[in-house]
Amino acid sequence: MKIDIINIDGQSTGKQVDLPEDIFGVEPNEHAVYLAVKLHLANKRQGTNKTKERGEVKGSTRKIKRQKGTGTARAGDIKNPLFRGGGRVFGPRPRTYDMKVNKKVRSLARKSALSDKQAQGNIVVVEDFTFEAPKTQQFKGILAKLNISDKKSVLVTGDMDKHLYLSSRNLPKATVTRASDLNTYEIVKAQTLVLSEGAIEQIKATFAK
């Protein structure tokens, strides 16, 4: 499928680029997208929560009162979970939230997300450009000219451009990433996907596998 290429001023360059049907024109598989997003979010979790249980709390093991005759419930040591400062019952322990999703499913999810964005007309292709120095206001101006300054957007480049990345870092709705690092979660989360010319070939090489 053909799509027009525009410049960073939002004007047509008169050129077109061919988006491969096997990446941008597949039938979206919602379940594959769900699994890929769930995988991404789960793998970001640290799983380092920990609370002390009864056997780990510092304190005496002496029985604090006699068993009978007090008119209250029986109690053991001061580390009883019912007491303030006692151990927690079945508290969280360090664990891993890592999941496994087959490579073919992850690939299908990326293609499904890209195809859905293309079907909705939320993919824009711009000429390759770069900054000589990090300029947040200059990057913000480009988003305004592309009419996406108020939308969540992801600019996909062929190679990582440090100046572009630093220029976008303070903009809460804008992200810059390499085509080889683009994942399903970023695609789904973005309202508009901005692809540079160089990113198209990188996407073909990466996502067609």
CA distances from 95 to 42, 48, 92, 100 (A): 12, 7, 9, 15
pLDDT given at position 209 = 58
Tens digits of per-residue pLDDT, 70-93? 999 999 999 999 999 999 999 999
If pLDDT is split at 50, 70 and 90, which confidence band does 2 have?
Answer: confident
Residue 207 has pLDDT above 80, yes or no: no
Tens digits of per-residue pLDDT, 16-28? 888 888 899 999 9
- Across 199-207, average pLDDT: 86
pLDDT given at position 208 = 67
In CATH terms, the superfamily for domain 2-45+99-207 is Ribosomal protein L4/L1 (3.40.1370.10)
134 vs 207, more confident: 134
Give residues with Cβ within 8 angstroms of 16, minimum separation 6: 2, 3, 4, 5
pLDDT given at position 13 = 85
In this prediction the pTM is: 0.81
Residue 50 has pLDDT above 90, yes or no: yes
Average pLDDT along the chain: 91
Q: CB atoms < 10 A from the CB of 158, how many?
A: 19
- Across 180-187, average pLDDT: 92
CB 61 within 8 A of CB 77: yes
* Domain ranges, ordered by start, for the chain: 2-45+99-207, 47-96
pLDDT given at position 4 = 87
CB 181 within 8 A of CB 141: no
- Across 45-65, average pLDDT: 93
